[in-house]
Structure 1
């Protein structure tokens, strides 16, 4: 049975996230890989997308008859089907080059692994969804301006989704079904979803890039994009900005800040007669105590004022449990002080969900500091979870302080009754971590 030309073109576009009814079939007899044509396509891609040139030439090509078209692994090798190169025009091959290297630059393999762990996504079906979602992220700004878009390329519009989103967003917005039933053969390799393929050479194979080399390539590409403002699509400009200022997992930062404060000199240290000091031998007739380290005491002051939302209060309770884990799981060493304009009762941490977060008025966390320090025994670390709309103590407290800030995007939201009000920044003696989807720290 003959194949309609449009169907054949759809099969040829398979490596760029195209919709195919059947897997492409290699000719019975295939010649050697046409490197001249393949590299001419890469040169064309570099000319029309000069900011991607460093990444395009960092890819090492591997001839493979196991891949349907072109695919990449997580070590920056590009596997190429000789038959696909033979039957595809140079202009379309250039688009495939850009498509495949985009997966690697945007770390779709690492992000796919993280999403799989966080959301419990297992099995080839979920990895196919990741590949489709990753293609949606990059295909809405790959083509045009010198790069030909093949027929049947997977785009957000095809799935009824909005363009300009990230892979993680698209994963939440569609499931495998009628719209995706023709995408079962889509395979851009482990570089697109993190799942190793049988053709992968693996971490010990030749010509792979190390993690440091991959980061260096990404940084050079980001430099090129930021150095030529207005020449790259919005998706690439957003990526380049994040490459220079990568978001850090704020929960890890908050936990690290608490652990660092709790492990500092003097924190959790006290004298004990349970084991006499070795210096007792120098003082006949006297027993001297020894300095012992105990689990650190942590007091969490939670801002319950009206400017803090219910969602943020719920997040604060989750962070209390995370803080307890950060100091070794000793919940008996963690206490909580709800505070708006006045500090509430100091609650020992038994179960975070049982702590009433009362409040709703103005904010003065100085009373929270006073309550935390006045309720013995004195804490070694005070952790403050707040939106920052508060006066701060004039003097440094006699213990370490970590501030978790709920982000506020617009200054106009600070105080509806006083548009000129700007809150004071946290004091320099506090370690500050921004709580949100991204994070920052100082």
Structure 2
């Protein structure tokens, strides 16, 4: 984003010129020629003349608010770079990511949103200029804050705070499309030329497909983005919780016959008292792989998942059992308190079949079995008589499993009857 006037924020007044739409569109055409893989997104942006913005800004609905004075004083070559900058915020979903970051960390206020705008600029400005695009004066990049290139907005947010060294960036205004904070001039979802969510996704997909089709023409940052667009990271904790809740609430799960209240059908059988079918909270047993191939960090993650599983079934800790298993299985211990009392002993080979056998032999029998493992194990030959969820630890470099000492070893994939969730993918 070009800094207006190179110094203080510009004073807008009634004498500002009329928007030179021809110059603005010429700059967009130059941007499309310099970055042809972004052409679909550039031409999907709808420009809106606005004297409320210092330069150019976007909203989440793919409108670009443009200052006529800024267009008048900025060369076409620099305007082309600003076009690419603004559309990059939208393609990379900076508004949605900013909202999620603020919600998870309890952040609020314009100052925090400015910090998110700066971090988002650092993510995109480190590799979008050059090769036909001029870097506008005052554009924020990681080096200007003493940070490394090539990281994500969320990474930069953890590395700096607002202070005297960022005071010169107080003018920065890329709009709600960059930081998620609604502006007074935003036209909103019902305003003219707003793109629907489906249309926005279609634009992103076409851009990602263009980058993937010609990988040599795009920067490393854009190639990384395109790869994630085709293979989005799973929100693993939500998926695991949803899988456990679905298994626990399935038909037949937790159902039992009791005589405490006679069945209504008893009237049809004079002289006999029939039990009624009552639903009780589902019982869950978590089998944790403690073999030598599982790292301490993964065991720590497993304990976090045990706590999340207890919340997924309504907080009934007394109905959650935990057992450690390597080649042999320990006892099923109830999760009566917090996870600090859970002992994860092991370190040998891996055979989760022993863990499944011990879990299913516990009384009362579990309605759901959750296995947390790296996947280097044989699996039961037959479907267990209860719902099953498998949480697989994701491995560095995209490798889901490690090869053990035998180079010809290949782990068996989890069976089709298990609901599988990758634990740790998409961690941000």
- The interval holding the TM-score normalised by the smaller chain is over 0.9
Aligned equivalent of 1:382, options 365, 369, 386: 369
Say if 2:420 is the partner of 1:436.
no
Residue 36 of structure 1 deviates from its aligned partner by 0.9
**TM score, norm. by length of structure 1:** 0.92
Partner of 2:412: 424
Distance 2:220 2:120 in 1: 16
Aligned counterpart, 2:223: 237
User: In the alignment, which residue of structure 2 is the partner of 1:192?
Assistant: 178
Determine helix, strand or coil for the equivalent of 2:265: helix
- What do residues 16-62 of structure 1 show as CA deviations (whole Å, max 9, x unaligned)? xx9x5421233661121111111111111112212111111111111
Among 153, 158, 164, the residue aligned to 1:167? 153
Structure 2 partner of 1:9? none
* 8 Å CA contact retained: 2:50, 2:65: yes
Of 108, 120, 125 in structure 2, the residue corresponding to residue 139 of structure 1 is 125
Inter-partner Cα distance in structure 2 for 1:73 and 1:307: 47
> The residue matched to 1:230 in structure 2 has which SS?
helix
**Number of equivalences:** 424
Correspondences of 1:28-427 after superposition (within 5 Å)? 29-350=15-336, 351-409=338-396, 410=399, 413-415=402-404, 417-427=405-415
Report if the CA contact (8 A) 1:95-1:149 is conserved: yes
The answer to whether the Cα contact below 8 Å between 1:27 and 1:83 also exists between their aligned partners in 2 is: no
Contact kept, 8 Å, 2:31 with 2:133, in 1: the verdict is yes
Aligned counterparts of 1:236 and 1:49: Cα–Cα separation in 2: 11
What root-mean-square deviation, in Å, do the aligned CA atoms of Structure 1 and Structure 2 show?
A: 1.8
Work out the CA distance in 2 between the residues paired with 1:285 and 1:245: 63
Contact 1:341 1:361 in 2 (8 A): yes
> Aligned partners of 2:44, 2:106: CA distance in 1, in Å?
33
When residues 411 and 428 of structure 1 are mapped into structure 2, their CA distance, relative to the original with a 3 A threshold, is closer
> 1:276: how far off?
2.0
Moved over 6 A (4+): none
- Shift, 1:374, TM fit: 1.1
**TM-fit CA distance, 1:84:** 0.3
Distance 1:265 1:413 in 2: 37
Distance 1:211 1:400 in 2: 35
- Who is 2:2 aligned against? 13
Unaligned runs of 5+ in 1: 1-11
TM-score (norm 2): 0.95
CA distance in 2, matches of 1:229, 1:31: 41
Structure 2 contact 395–401 (Cα < 8 Å) conserved: no
Whether contact under 8 Å (2:394, 2:425) holds in the other structure is no
Partner SS for 2:72: helix
* Separation in structure 1 between the aligned mates of residue 42 and residue 163 of structure 2, nearest angstrom: 34
Within 1, Cα distance between the matches of 2:74 and 2:202?
32
Distance 1:21 1:345, change over 3 A: farther
Q: CA deviation at 1:304?
A: 1.4
SS at match of 2:216: coil
State whether residues 234 and 425 of structure 2, in contact with CA within 8 Å, keep that contact through their aligned partners in structure 1: no
Q: Is the 8 A contact 2:374 2:400 kept in 1?
A: no
Alpha-carbon distance between aligned partners in 1 of 2:288 and 2:124, rounded to the nearest angstrom: 41
Structure 2 match to 1:6? none
How far apart are 1:190 and its partner, in Å?
0.7
Structure 2 equivalent of residue 4 of structure 1 = none
Structure 1 distance, partners of 2:231, 2:169, is 35
- Gaps spanning 5+ residues in structure 2: where? none
